[in-house]
Amino acid sequence: MSFSHIYGHEQKIKILKSTLAQKRMAHAYLFSGMEAIGKRTLAIELVKAINCDRADDLHDACDECASCRKIAKGSHPDVYPVHAEGQYIRIDAVRQMQERTRCKPLEAKKRAFIIDDADRMNEASANALLKMLEEPSAVNILILVTARPASLPQTILSRCQQMRFNPLSAETVARFLRTKMNLDEQRAGLLAALSGGSIGNALELNNEDIIAYRTELLDLLSRTDRNNPFSLIDLASFLGSKKKEIGHGLHMMNSFFRDMLIVKEVGGNKMLINRDYDALIAACAERLSGEQILHNIEQIEKAGAIIEQNVNKSLTLEAMAFKLNY
């Protein structure tokens, strides 16, 4: 694998390649963005590219030299993954990093530490890491990876070159599912639309009986009636009480209303995510105006954002159910 095998993040890769070409790598990076979108994979590719025997020509990993192969296998003596043990990244792990920086790298041009879930440092570990960041060295590079950059102390953030990764586009996730997982176009499209832009989410959904869940949800949705408050509460409680399930359910509802808009504005069923429900979608599109459908999409997105902030979930879902047009 090299940069060219990474799904999405084209802009970030372009920046990193030009930094490599100009030999202006920062001594510490912070890769942030939602879980499972390829931040860590990109960190490893960057370390490969920095240390590749052919890096000067390629500004990318060749995947063939000894350095590239060792890093890919996880057996390079100068590349250290750092993880949380239990709840925290322990102070011992950071001290060990400090210890290692005292001598020259054994083989690498730059010794690399890739710190996963970097936000999971307690105060002692964070202070020790800060010391390392305050004494940068040309032969070491630190890459902090996190989905929660706001949980890191400002003193650490300000000493890292920050790169914020966006969720992947649905098309990128679908392409991954088609080419790497051999899924058919329909399933790949559905999972991608529900993944929120995360390959990890899509793979997780692929293991669940997502089709049965969708059947149940769409069935319930088609029976929901604004004049029957019980049906609204049924819908809200079906969407579940766990944050993750709610996310899946809301993405699914969103894809349903998005399909309705497409039927209304473009016609045909080619571009539909839920193509197998085209008759139901067309019937609903007939009943609702474009404005009402847009209102629904907005309300669903709003509810999703509120739930992300850990506000009362069932209350939020019920409020949303009462505001939608059916």
Binding site for Zn ion (CB under 5 A): 52, 62, 65, 68
Q: Which residues contact 31 (CB under 8 A, 6 or more apart)?
A: 39, 40, 42, 43, 143, 144, 145, 146, 163, 165
What the block records as the tokens of 121 is 């440092």
> Alpha-carbon torsion 193, 194, 197, 203, what sign?
negative
Q: Closest separation between CB of residue 2 and Zn ion, Å?
A: 9
| Minimum CB–partner distance for residue 19 and Zn ion (Å) | 18
* Token couple for 185: 């176009």
Return the exposure string of 129-146: e unless at least 16 CB atoms fall within 10 Å of the residue's CB, then b. Answer: beebbeeeeeebbbbbbb
- Encoded tokens for 228: 């029957």
Task: Give dist(CA 244, CA 242) in Å, integer.
Answer: 6
Complex with Zn ion: residue 112 or 210, whichever CB lies closer = 112
- End-to-end C-alpha distance for the chain, whole angstroms: 47
**What is the closest distance, in whole angstroms, from the C-beta atom of residue 24 to Zn ion in the complex?**
20
Q: Which is nearer to Zn ion, 60 or 259 (CB)?
A: 60
- Rounded CA separation 231/227 (Å): 9
Q: Give the closest residue to 6 by CA, choosing from 230, 179, 149, 142.
A: 179
Q: How far apart are CA 180 and CA 200, in angstroms?
A: 13
Instruction: Find the shortest distance in angstroms from Cβ 67 to Zn ion.
Output: 6
| Under 8 Å between Cβ of 112 and 50 | yes
Cβ proximity to Zn ion: between 64 and 209 the closer is 64
Cβ proximity to Zn ion, 73 vs 102, nearer residue: 73
**DSSP per-residue letters across 45-57:** HHHHHHH-TTHHH
Closest CB to Zn ion among 52 and 126? Answer: 52
- Phi then psi for residue 26, to 5 deg, are -75, 165
CB of 58 to Zn ion, least distance (A): 8
Considering the complex, what minimum distance in angstroms separates the CB of residue 307 from Zn ion? Answer: 45
Between 71 and 262, CB nearer to Zn ion: 71
Smallest distance, Å, CB 79 to Zn ion? 13
Pick the closer one to Zn ion by CB: 60 or 318.
60
Instruction: Decide: 6 and 41 in contact? Cβ < 8 Å.
Output: yes
